[in-house]
Structure 1
């Protein structure tokens, strides 16, 4: 009779770190539902979740599109495009996000408003449109614009690494068969690069969720800003920042687990 070892139980296969996070989540949820102080703070901060997600999703989508364009410029055969794209990436990656956020909010935004009024001066003089004002440029959109530009430099490097990971011989073979550069990129390069790009791109999205807390410096009513206002008015700093950390951990860990699942799905499909 052949001895067959019993498969490990579900508990034995469960990662201990995930079990610890799950217990921490249950503890935080229990505190919010059973403690009136935590419940009140959670209700106050829950409105900031929508703002945080809105700023993050919109900025990340725009940064992904802009980053792809910059990556294509960096891998272009035209030297001028490569030099401009490389200059763009190196400059933006060297500036702290908070500094760039202030620069966009208080330097670039007024300049953009002044430039708009200068271009539209003939229409403003005849009264067809009203002149734009700096106050009319909402800080939420300034924050989204700053995160878009800043993260596009990092995402451009992710796309560039994924594109260059595809063998040049495949590109040359596709070109020899008569495929245009666009069709070669669409059907040969990008599908293979996507598998390399997806994990770090997902990590950047999780990082942006956390870095979106920086927009509170502009007074944007996200989770962090509402937490600061609530703590300063109630002096419940320990309880308030516990809830703030709980909300961010819930979002980031959920996204990280979703990304792990997507990676496993893609690995299984490639394995087939």
Structure 2
């Protein structure tokens, strides 16, 4: 036991001393990055959801080129790392288009395109889960394809896949920390700035982790309330 105690006491963790007073003045600066994360997540989720719906409709379309395009698109964005997509859009756009794209816009584009690839599969599954008889009845009544999808099929599909879309949004919120690699001063980036300035890492990054956790818990609570209201509206 004495040997184990001496070994443990020699470890750096045994001598760890935390002092949050060092970063107390910087905590408001770190926490204010929440607004950037939330704005980034909401904008990316909105555009990703819209484009994902279009891709889902392409996948169930009878037009083969649209199916091929949607499947190829999904395979590209699901088969490559998200951080690679972010850096390509941010660093390659000035080279290809001679346009210095803002870092926030580059992150939104990358996350929207990536989110669409994943949500399209979820939306497609929701559409296919709607009773086929409803589509046949609408076609019998002379309802055209797009009005049928927008007014009959998609509303029912979205109710069925709402939990999966919530999970996708939560993952998007957590992954928003990745835009720190292209200089967006969101929560993670601000924590790193404070850490490098004060030469301590655990305290500021712990603050970042706690804030992210609280955001996810709050978003989950709100989503469950919304889901219950959607169920009761049937």
TM range (shorter): 0.7 to 0.9
User: By how many angstroms is 1:38 displaced?
Assistant: 5.4
Q: Which moved more, 1:45-54 or 1:249-258?
A: 45-54
Which structure 2 residues correspond to residues 1-272 of structure 1 after superposition, within 5 A?
A: 36-37=21-22, 39-111=24-96, 113-114=97-98, 133-134=99-100, 137-270=101-234
- Counterpart-to-counterpart distance in 2, 1:157 and 1:108: 28
User: By how many angstroms is 1:242 displaced?
Assistant: 1.4
Q: Which moved more, 1:99-108 or 1:261-270?
A: 261-270
Corresponding residue for 2:11? none
- Counterpart-to-counterpart distance in 1, 2:227 and 2:111: 26
User: By how many angstroms is 1:87 displaced?
Assistant: 0.7
User: By how many angstroms is 1:148 displaced?
Assistant: 1.0
Matched residues, number: 215
Gaps of 5+ in 1: 1-34, 115-132
- Counterpart-to-counterpart distance in 1, 2:218 and 2:182: 27
Q: Name the SS for the 2:32 alignment partner.
A: helix
Q: Which moved more, 1:232-241 or 1:152-161?
A: 232-241
- Counterpart-to-counterpart distance in 2, 1:171 and 1:156: 20
- Counterpart-to-counterpart distance in 1, 2:94 and 2:37: 21
- Counterpart-to-counterpart distance in 1, 2:140 and 2:103: 51
TM-score (norm 2): 0.86
Q: Which has the higher Rg, Structure 1 or Structure 2?
A: 1
Q: Name the SS for the 1:76 alignment partner.
A: coil
Q: Is the 8 A contact 1:227 1:241 kept in 2?
A: yes
Q: Name the SS for the 1:60 alignment partner.
A: helix
- Counterpart-to-counterpart distance in 2, 1:152 and 1:159: 10
Corresponding residue for 2:14? none
Q: Name the SS for the 1:241 alignment partner.
A: helix
Q: Is the 8 A contact 2:23 2:194 kept in 1?
A: no
Q: Name the SS for the 1:40 alignment partner.
A: coil
Q: Is the 8 A contact 1:171 1:184 kept in 2?
A: yes
RMSD (CA atoms): 1.5
- Counterpart-to-counterpart distance in 2, 1:196 and 1:96: 29
Q: CA 1:38 to 1:250, structure 2 compared with 1: closer, same or farther past 3 Å?
A: farther
- Counterpart-to-counterpart distance in 2, 1:170 and 1:42: 55
TM-score (norm 1): 0.75
Residues 21-40 of structure 1, C-alpha deviations (whole Å, 9 max, x = no match): xxxxxxxxxxxxxx644542
